[in-house]
Structure formats: structure tokens, C-alpha cells
Amino acid sequence: MDIMLRIISALADCFTIAASSIAVYLFLFQRDKISAAFKTLINYSTQLTLTELTSKIDRLNDLNANDELQNSQVINILNEIEGQIKGNPRLIKQFPEVIAEIEPFSSQRSKITEPKKRSVVALLREKIRSYDVDFKNS
């Protein structure tokens, strides 16, 4: 019984050594690949957010802010956009003007009208476009 236990613990130690040496090896020699994989994941999520923002722009464009019923939908979409930008640490750094522009309307401190909506859409579209270009070049 005693021998059995010893064999098992020796075996377990061997596996521990093997596993931790793999970790050390990965850390020392494959660090670039791991960080690249993480970067790809983060980039992918940012890219996804940008695509979603673009589709929200199209939805905003189809709504008329001067129409009372559609006005609340416009405010909802603006809130969604604001949330998405604030939820992404990179975007919030890149798009502070957009947040500043949307904020009064999403918090309903001032009323959004059709021309104001178009201004927001134009600004957001340009920001996404220029950020997208930088992003793909980086």
C-alpha cells in the first residue's frame, strides 16, 4: 500500500514537472504567438462592434426623428450606440466627440430633431471610417 502511494505520487510529480515545463517553454519561446492570439481575439471583438455600429447607423438613417413614434426609437438606438462605445475601452478613447455629441440626446436633456440626427450620423460614420482604416493598417 505504501509503495503504491509512493509510485502514484512520483508519477504525479513527473506530470507536474512535464506540465509546468510546457508552461515555461510556452512562456519563454512562444510568447509572441500567445499574445498574437489574444490580440486577434480583442481585434475581432472591436471589429464586431464597428460592424454593429455601422448597421445601427443604417437603422438611424431609416428613421425620421421628427416623427413622434420614431423619435423614441431614435433615442433607443442612440443609447445602444453610446453603450457600445462606452463598453469598449479602445472605442471610448477614440470616440470622445461622438459620446459628447450623443449624450444630451440619449439622456433626453435636449430633443433630437431630424437635422441633429443627421449630424450625429455623419460624425459617427466618419469616425468609424477613419478608425477602421487605422485599425486595418495597424
Partner 1 sequence: METKVIRVINKMITNSKRIGNVIKSSQSTNEYFFTYKGSYKWSIMESPMANGEILLYYYPMNLNLHEISMLLEPEIEFITYKSGEFKSKEADESFRELFSIVKSKYLGMDKVLDDILNESDDLPF
**Considering only 4-12, 67-75, 78-86, 110-118, which stretch makes contact with partner 1 by CB under 8 A?**
110-118
Number of H helices and number of E strands within the chain?
6, 0
DSSP state of 41: H
Q: Pick the closest to residue 95 from 127, 119, 58, 120 (CA basis).
A: 127
Convert residues 29-58 into a mask of x (bound to partner 1 by CB under 8 A) and - (unbound).
Answer: ------------------------------
**C-alpha to C-alpha distance for 103 and 54, rounded to whole angstroms:** 19
Q: Does 77 bind partner 1 (CB under 8 A)?
A: no
User: What are the C-alpha distances in Å from 59 to residues 3, 46, 124?
Assistant: 72, 20, 13
Q: Does 99 bind partner 1 (CB under 8 A)?
A: no
Which of 54, 92, 121, 131 lies at the binding interface for partner 1 (CB under 8 A)? 121
Q: Which of 70, 80, 114, 131 binds partner 1 (CB under 8 A)?
A: 114
Choose between 1 and 115: whose C-beta lies nearer to partner 1: 115
Indicate whether 70 belongs to the interface with partner 1 (CB under 8 A): no
CB of 76 to partner 1, least distance (A): 18
Q: Is 123 in the site for partner 1 (CB under 8 A)?
A: yes
Report CA-CA distances (Å) from 71 to 57, 65, 99, 122. 15, 5, 19, 18
